[in-house]
Structure 1
Amino acid sequence: MAKPMENVGYDVITPASARILVVEDDRDIATMLIELMKEAGYVAETVGSAMEMDRVLKKKEFSLIVLDGMLPGEDGFSICRRIRASDTTPILMLTALTKEVDRVVGLELGADDYVTKPFSSRELLARIKALLRRSSYSSQLKPSQDPMTFAGWRIDPVTRELTDIDGVHVPLTTAEFDVLLVFCENPRQVMNRQDILARTHAGAAGPVERSIDVHVSRIRQKIEPNYKEPTFIKTVRLGGYIFTPEVAVAI
């Protein structure tokens, strides 16, 4: 269960038409989450299983999915993998599984953030706010932000699309796109994890620093010629990462 809701005034930025789907089989927790999110100004609804979630997602679009890791039938980790195969909707995993390996697995499967139970209502809302802000960032971008190319790849900051050397669209999660965009905007510069967190609009409420390593690993698997021996995104010992390709404005 969550810790009691603190009686504070929330300055919650609510993107236009932001809708949150809570996938949680515990009715008490689900009810509390819905009340918490509605109080914060969000439109939210809940389902208790993967089957119910699939039915709802066929009819409606959501700005964010809050996903329990332990569900009857198909578990949250399997659901996360399945959603991420074809959809970039931000996913926040909310689970009682507290081990670091569970957190890392969740992030590797495509979750944008991972919160463990019991959780602070204040922290949960802050993380939701950060994810929604990050995912809606593209709507605030100026049209003058031109697409960029690197090693035959093309990344468009406005449409938030990545295409490979054959022009094939490569899906990225919200967090993965943000991290890759930061690298493209700062090529051949050593960037530490805190710099990347700050520039991806995660702020203090964003994913743990360790999640940057997970996102980088997933990006490498999608863009590197050989992700086991990366040449595009190199690790700098005690420094962070450096994006090595030459980046140019797309013509």
Structure 2
Amino acid sequence: MKRILIIEDEPSISELQKDYLEVHGFDVEIECTGNNGLKRALTSEFDLIILDVMLPGIDGFSVCKKIREVKEVPILMVTARVDEIDFIRGLGLGADDYIFKPFNPNQLVAKIKAHLTRYARLVSLNETIKEQTIIGRLFIDHAARIIELDGIEVKFRAREFDLLAFLALHPGQVFTKEHLYERIWGMEPASDHTTVTVHIKKIRDKLSREEMEFDSIETVWGVGYRFKKEPLPVG
């Protein structure tokens, strides 16, 4: 079931959106301030975010910018304003589309389904065509399922390989244990995700050498894990 986050300060609008989307099979959560919406967006996994422009606290433009700095989730902005400059600004900050109030609920659902389909195709394409990943000291051959550290092959079990490869394909992006469990083990999130923690530890142990600990997989306390981005070369 696809998860949708609505960040909207008008209860009549957010509840209408929620009711209509749930009828169409989506799992929907609501936040009514910019600050709370941003926190939820960054600490939970959603398949799409519906974001109002005018919000108490920080506005929708700022929320969009901060989300886009760390996540590629589709963002659909909702506004009652029709100024072209606002439209251009939102898209420039990373929004995927706009919908204007008052809107037809059927149009909203159609846009959401279109963006979810487009994003799924993009993710699938990116992961399919990327046969090899080289990041820092790590080399991954996805087709041959080979991982090398500093030119030396390291043996992994199937789930360990899948977990490390997935994180390395998305450097800088934070994933919760729940999301990783669902993505790698192919099941609905369970109540106990210690298996993810155990596999992360095994991966770190296998990639650490006596003289150097492997620190590219970062623990984001209270959230989950991410693969550290390599700094851009200077000059």
What band does the TM-score fall into relative to the shorter chain?
0.5 to 0.7
Partners of 2:39 and 2:90 in 1: CA distance: 23
Which residue of 47, 61, 85 maps to 2:31?
A: 47
Partners of 2:103 and 2:53 in 1: CA distance: 14
* Contact 2:41–2:67, Cα closer than 8 Å, also in 1: no
Aligned equivalent of 2:101 = 117
Backbone CA RMSD of aligned residues: 3.2
CA drift of 1:55 comes to 3.8
Aligned equivalent of 2:74 = 90
Secondary structure of the 1:135 match is helix
Task: Report how many aligned residue pairs link the two structures.
Answer: 143
Deviations 1:93-127 (A, max 9, x none): 01111122211111001001111111111211111
CA drift of 1:57 comes to 3.3
Percent of paired sites with the same residue: 38
* Contact 1:94–1:116, Cα closer than 8 Å, also in 2: yes
* Contact 1:162–1:170, Cα closer than 8 Å, also in 2: no
Deviations 1:49-69 (A, max 9, x none): 122224433542111110000
Which residue of 110, 115, 123 maps to 1:126?
A: 110
Secondary structure of the 2:77 match is strand
Q: 2:33 is aligned with what amino acid?
A: S
* Contact 1:22–1:47, Cα closer than 8 Å, also in 2: yes
Uncovered stretches (5+) of structure 1, i.e. residues with no partner: 1-16, 149-155, 164-168, 172-251
Aligned equivalent of 2:62 = 78
Q: 2:6 is aligned with what amino acid?
A: V
- The reply to whether residue 108 of structure 1 matches residue 81 of structure 2 is no
Structure 1 residues 163-242: aligned runs within 5 Å: none
Secondary structure of the 1:136 match is helix
Q: 1:44 is aligned with what amino acid?
A: V
Do the aligned partners of residues 139 and 107 (structure 1) sit closer, same or farther apart at CA in structure 2, a change above 3 Å counting? closer
Deviates more, 1:18-27 or 1:116-125: 116-125
Partners of 2:115 and 2:97 in 1: CA distance: 8
TM-score by length of 1: 0.50
Uncovered stretches (5+) of structure 2, i.e. residues with no partner: 133-141, 143-164, 174-235
